[in-house]
Amino acid sequence: MPIRLDAPGPLTRKNEAFPCLIEADLVTFAAVKLIRKDTDYALVALVRLARLADNSSLSAAQLATDLVVPHGFLRKILKTLSNHGIVKSTRGKMGGFRLARTPASITVLHVLEIFQGKIRATDCVVADIVCTRKDICQLHGSLRGVEQKLSKELKRITIAMLANPQPKRRHE
């Protein structure tokens, strides 16, 4: 049963594949998840590491405990960040992870792209994919603009900004 925007009452639809499951509202169907869990954990871990004193490090186990995230999953994330030169790891009793770069040089966009690839609203806006409906589709240009604006904003936000947020000023 399709969702009808002109129907009175709440906009809901039964799950056709699993009718026993919850009915979902229009917001659920329209929601888009931008940041996956691995990216989220990576960002939170980087912020935690950015708040450490110079040359200090934390073990993956301590980071996982501090951030309340699964230890094994966080280890994989830290390994990926290490492979991309974002964090350094040191072995041994006093070892652990620390930032390999300054927090101001690590952007949210860069971390997101490490784990998720380039931001894409749809496959048709990828340069190497030919869209057969490009001549009649009105979305292509608009979606490309949305992607560019989102990328620009995420590139502006750094780990330093997240680690040391500035109070927002009220505009008078």
Rg (alpha carbons) of the chain, rounded to whole number: 21
Q: Provide φ and ψ at 87, rounded to 5°.
A: -125, 160
Question: Does the predicted model carry a pTM greater than 0.85?
Answer: no
Domain 35-166 annotated CATH 1.10.10.10: yes
Whole-angstrom CA distances from 9 to 6, 19, 25, 165 are 9, 20, 11, 42
pLDDT per residue as tens digits for the range 133-147: 767 777 766 777 888
Per-domain boundaries in the chain? 1-31, 35-166
Strand partners, 58: 97
Tens of pLDDT, residue by residue over 93-113, are 878 999 999 999 999 999 999
Tell me which DSSP letter residue 107 carries: B
